[in-house]
Structure 1
């Protein structure tokens, strides 16, 4: 079979030809930013493909689809593979143009467009926060009048908490209007408003192959949220223990939500569930792709599998690795975000017991800006232990160590007044 792979993430660790197997021909269209500038690394990343095209401005470039169609006319593709949130719809459109199986546009839209998704879930009786589309100021003011502050406003087809606003008062409304001039156009904005819920965020990650759920396991972000990292606060997450009382209710709700949506036969998923102040579960949303922010690495440590590999091998008709019913060990992560200023000092190694991996993502002298995405970081750790309690203790100690050891000073030259961390 002949596979087309659309890629925008670093290719190291994504050996698509190896995962699909030698019996298949693999063509790669990749973002130039995903390919190393080092000749030896670049050669290894691009080896094994029948054809490769490296494309600039991959996200906004319609030539990605144009080139894919031209290549299909020459040789014909049997399948299209895309792992990124922002290529889900693009890949679905190509499948329909090619006439090949896989996630179609209706399914991709239900996962990518939060308004479409929530309307489907609401009709199925899935508990949700009140929501409404927002195309203009009248829509927004009407929703606020009905629900009161605070209100969350987000892009209907966003990702990574980008451009998510929590409105607490009329001044925040004015700030939103300044950021979204499309609210004043005839075509209107593609936004969604939701009633804000105080919550603990539980995310659920897993995979379905040939209609069978192979993995569905929740993690909790505890007292951190995806929006906190944009305010300069660390984000952490940890797998639930096998005997956690939340485990079965969260999985049951996630299963009901997936059953209501037009799912493909084989797909990865990343769902979010709110545990509100009254300990009730409220479904937020679900994506048909791997969770971001190092969740993949947490699942590797906990279950001993690489979820994208299981997914791609399954699409190639190859037997993927067995997935344990429960984690072999509990694993978690913590992301340390940037704050405005110049990075003066950042440690190279982490001495905290229980930390499996520490990674420095920025070098001294780097001029930093506040995070725009929930996955932006200057440092990160992965921790393992026998229980969630052990892992969360290691993550807390690592955060305290990182804040003591890292110096960010205001300004762009590193000489301004400021304190460590």
Structure 2
């Protein structure tokens, strides 16, 4: 018996050997080599502590990844398949379905991966979403703009990390984007939406046995789509328990999860990451939900708040392993409450030669700190909303104090970072 882990991530945030120390079988990992260097990791020698480790150059050749995954599953007698990256959710479900394994199959995860199908389910459940359509040609794009006005958002139906997302603010931008997207044959892999004003919140947590075991809301203090143009510190904060938004966001997330879950479906244990707009007129509008743990440093923020890593417990839940720090609350039916507030401050990569980087913070409230570059290194621009230069996770008794600390730290990072343009 074994677990096959599809791994399109660096290894440092995912110490599977420690997380799964009590898994009663072999741990087999199929990983993407191209995700290591951007995070300063060397390609592992040997099996990296796993039963077996196989590295592919990248995961873009879907046929190759499927073939290798099936071969490894057969060779090691896989009983479970795990994927923590949005790009691997469909493949993991397909593998389980092919092999008749427990866990989510393709139909279970499609409402979480296809943004148009997701919006259809949410709308049918009476949940507020942005007006949208799946355009197949320029004429349909122009008709939608005529009806809904600007700004508009154009993105991939199966996209992630804001890669390729475009905010179109006027007719000229729309015409350029439409000509680029629909200049050839008709297509149906894009989704066009009305722009929703306001601050985006996110709710992260774990489902076990078909119900939410733990969840908590946070609020981005920046625009996710600006990852390629924002040179400053980006702050993300958890919400206080008595914040008026906290209960509303948790309740809406549970409604949205229920709307996307198939009746008698197979998806009973998974992490989730919901993104929800809070508009200036106090509405909550669901943007989208992923059926995997949140990215960036959300997993480590959860460790600060609750004492466990969100990625670890989501992985363990999917394998039916105990969740020690959650078991008492689950047994009593109570909702776990955080022991402190937390948040993260991030700086994106931007192109050029690194001349200076932030010093390791000595502040006692800085829980974790990461650098993903070295002085003298020439780096490319950020490739997505999770391609960071530096990150830190902090704690504080309240959201207000946490924000003060993170902004102070972010200002320090900005002052200590210098990247010179290269010819």
TM-score (norm 2): 0.89
Select between 99-108 and 361-370 the one with higher mean Cα deviation. Answer: 361-370
Aligned partners of 1:225, 1:88: CA distance in 2, in Å? Answer: 25
Report how far residue 356 of structure 1 moved.
Answer: 3.1
SS in 2 for 1:52: strand
Report how far residue 280 of structure 1 moved.
Answer: 1.1
SS in 1 for 2:78: coil
Given the alignment, which residue of 317, 320, 323 partners 1:320? Answer: 323
Aligned partners of 2:163, 2:8: CA distance in 1, in Å? Answer: 18
- CA 1:139–1:366 in structure 2 vs 1: closer, same or farther (change >3 Å)? farther
Report how far residue 178 of structure 1 moved.
Answer: 5.9
* Contact map agreement 1:228 1:235 (CA 8 A) in 2: no
Deviations 1:116-139 (A, max 9, x none): 100111111110111111222122
- CA 1:338–1:138 in structure 2 vs 1: closer, same or farther (change >3 Å)? same
Report how far residue 310 of structure 1 moved.
Answer: 1.3
Residue 96 of structure 1 corresponds to 97
Deviations 1:186-242 (A, max 9, x none): 2415111111111111100000111231111100113x1212332214321111111
Select between 353-362 and 331-340 the one with higher mean Cα deviation. Answer: 353-362
Deviations 1:25-64 (A, max 9, x none): 332222234569758x644x62241x33222222334222
* Contact map agreement 2:233 2:414 (CA 8 A) in 1: no
- CA 1:175–1:370 in structure 2 vs 1: closer, same or farther (change >3 Å)? farther
Report how far residue 260 of structure 1 moved.
Answer: 0.6
SS in 1 for 2:224: coil
- CA 1:72–1:374 in structure 2 vs 1: closer, same or farther (change >3 Å)? closer
Report how far residue 371 of structure 1 moved.
Answer: 2.6
* Contact map agreement 2:307 2:325 (CA 8 A) in 1: no
Residue 398 of structure 1 corresponds to 409
* Contact map agreement 1:352 1:397 (CA 8 A) in 2: no
Given the alignment, which residue of 330, 347, 356 partners 1:345? Answer: 356
Aligned partners of 1:389, 1:281: CA distance in 2, in Å? Answer: 22
Aligned partners of 1:320, 1:267: CA distance in 2, in Å? Answer: 13
Given the alignment, which residue of 400, 408, 423 partners 1:389? Answer: 400
Given the alignment, which residue of 384, 404, 419 partners 1:373? Answer: 384
SS in 1 for 2:134: strand
Residue 333 of structure 2 corresponds to none
* Contact map agreement 1:122 1:128 (CA 8 A) in 2: yes
Aligned partners of 1:137, 1:202: CA distance in 2, in Å? Answer: 32
Deviations 1:131-168 (A, max 9, x none): 11122212211110110011011111100011110101
- CA 1:145–1:83 in structure 2 vs 1: closer, same or farther (change >3 Å)? same
Gaps of 5+ in 2: 330-335
- CA 1:146–1:13 in structure 2 vs 1: closer, same or farther (change >3 Å)? closer
Aligned partners of 2:397, 2:133: CA distance in 1, in Å? Answer: 43
SS in 2 for 1:166: strand
* Contact map agreement 1:236 1:335 (CA 8 A) in 2: yes
Output aligned runs, 1:8-407, within 5 Å.
8-20=8-20, 21=22, 23-33=24-34, 42-43=45-46, 46-49=48-51, 51-74=52-75, 76-177=77-178, 179-180=180-181, 183-222=182-221, 224-232=222-230, 233-262=232-261, 264-323=267-326, 325-350=336-361, 354-407=365-418
Aligned partners of 2:23, 2:379: CA distance in 1, in Å? Answer: 44
Aligned partners of 2:133, 2:253: CA distance in 1, in Å? Answer: 22
Task: State the number of aligned residues.
Answer: 406
* Contact map agreement 1:352 1:394 (CA 8 A) in 2: no
* Contact map agreement 2:299 2:309 (CA 8 A) in 1: yes
SS in 1 for 2:70: helix
* Contact map agreement 1:229 1:235 (CA 8 A) in 2: no
- CA 1:35–1:367 in structure 2 vs 1: closer, same or farther (change >3 Å)? closer
Gaps of 5+ in 1: 413-421
* Contact map agreement 2:367 2:395 (CA 8 A) in 1: yes
Report how far residue 313 of structure 1 moved.
Answer: 2.2
RMSD: 2.2
Deviations 1:260-279 (A, max 9, x none): 11261001000011000111
Report how far residue 352 of structure 1 moved.
Answer: 5.7
- CA 1:364–1:126 in structure 2 vs 1: closer, same or farther (change >3 Å)? same
